[in-house]
């Protein structure tokens, strides 16, 4: 298939240009000029005659635009599948096109009702006065909104056409294809991550670690845990568990606790020359001797002289 689609693009662009330009010119030119007629009974018939003459041309323009749009949609379908963002833009453009068609068709029905009304006195094509019949006034109020809705929707179609033309640049095509390929490749990666997380959770449950939302699995006393620490062993003084991964964990728990008790009871400046090598807590006699040595140190006179009583 040829890469050039000049005929389709021309039908699409020329039809949309006539659709947008004709509706805008009618709202500003035809309706505005008819309101300047001195005879209030001739304002509505003159405007209706102008819109009636434009209706066949407008229908041909809409048909050309739709034919070109469908042809481009068929020829650009492979790029829609490969390039990211093209499908969303095409969906938005389709919605705008359907909306513009609906508003244009309904505005023509309202215009035909005004055309059949004859020549009632009006202030303008879309503005009734106090002599206008109620049915004609209601149709005029509807037409006042519809005459601006059609150029608004067709103008949005022009903007979307310009945006989609930018998507056809080589750089945009290459970037969109990379985005689409990246989205397709990320799906198995996400599935792999979810499977790995599930396997890790099962491993943590099996190893006895606490998993959020689950009760921790108790281990047997004295048995090494998953992180190498001894579970079930604790400090006899503080009651805290002793881990083999902390500094000094090679000593038995009672030896480490005894050394902490001796350091806590020993005054500042006194260094003990004995080191406990047993696993039993310090005896009462050793604690009494330590306290007596501390008392003698506090009672020693200073270099300033004897203490006066």
Q: Residue 84 has what pLDDT?
A: 77
pTM as predicted: 0.56
Q: Residue 83 has what pLDDT?
A: 79
pLDDT exceeds cutoff 70 at 32: yes
Read off the pLDDT band of 66 (50, 70, 90): very high
Q: Residue 99 has what pLDDT?
A: 97
Torsion sign across C-alpha atoms 157, 160, 162, 167: negative
Query: 159-204 pLDDT, tens per residue?
Result: 999 998 887 777 766 676 677 666 555 545 555 566 667 666 666 6
Mark 4-32 as b/e (b = at least 16 C-beta within 10 Å): ebeebbebbbebbebbbebbbebbeebbe
pLDDT exceeds cutoff 60 at 82: yes
Q: What is the CA radius of gyration of the chain?
A: 46
Q: Residue 171 has what pLDDT?
A: 72
Half-sphere exposure of 87 (CA within 13 A, CB side): 10
């Amino acid at each position: 298939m040829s890469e050039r689609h000049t005929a389709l693009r021309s039908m699409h662009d020329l039809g949309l240009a006539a659709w947008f330009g004709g509706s805008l010119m009618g709202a500003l030119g035809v309706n505005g000029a008819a309101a300047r007629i001195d005879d209030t009974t001739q304002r509505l018939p003159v405007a209706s005659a102008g819109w009636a003459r434009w209706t066949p041309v407008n229908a041909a323009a809409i048909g050309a635009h739709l034919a070109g749009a469908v042809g481009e949609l068929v020829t650009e379908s492979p790029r829609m599948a490969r390039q990211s963002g093209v499908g969303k833009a095409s969906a938005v453009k389709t919605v705008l096109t359907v909306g513009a068609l609906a508003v244009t068709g309904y505005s023509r029905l309202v215009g035909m009702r005004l055309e059949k009304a004859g020549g009632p006195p009006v202030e303008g094509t879309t503005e009734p006065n106090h002599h206008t019949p109620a049915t004609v006034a209601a149709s005029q109020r509807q037409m006042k909104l519809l005459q601006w809705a059609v150029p608004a929707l067709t103008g949005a179609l022009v903007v979307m056409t310009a945006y989609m033309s930018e998507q056809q640049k080589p750089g945009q095509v290459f970037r969109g294809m990379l985005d689409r390929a990246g989205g397709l490749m990320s799906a198995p990666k996400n599935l792999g991550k979810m499977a790995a997380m599930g396997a890790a959770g099962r491993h943590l449950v099996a190893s006895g670690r606490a998993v959020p939302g689950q009760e921790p699995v108790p281990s047997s006393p004295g048995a090494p845990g998953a992180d190498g620490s001894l579970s079930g062993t604790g400090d006899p003084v503080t009651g805290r568990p002793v881990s083999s991964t902390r500094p000094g964990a090679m000593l038995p728990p009672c030896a480490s606790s005894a050394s902490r008790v001796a350091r806590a009871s020993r005054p500042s400046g006194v260094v003990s020359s004995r080191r406990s090598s047993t696993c039993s807590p310090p005896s009462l006699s050793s604690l009494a001797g330590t306290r007596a040595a501390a008392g003698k140190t506090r009672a020693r006179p200073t270099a300033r002289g004897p203490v006066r009583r």
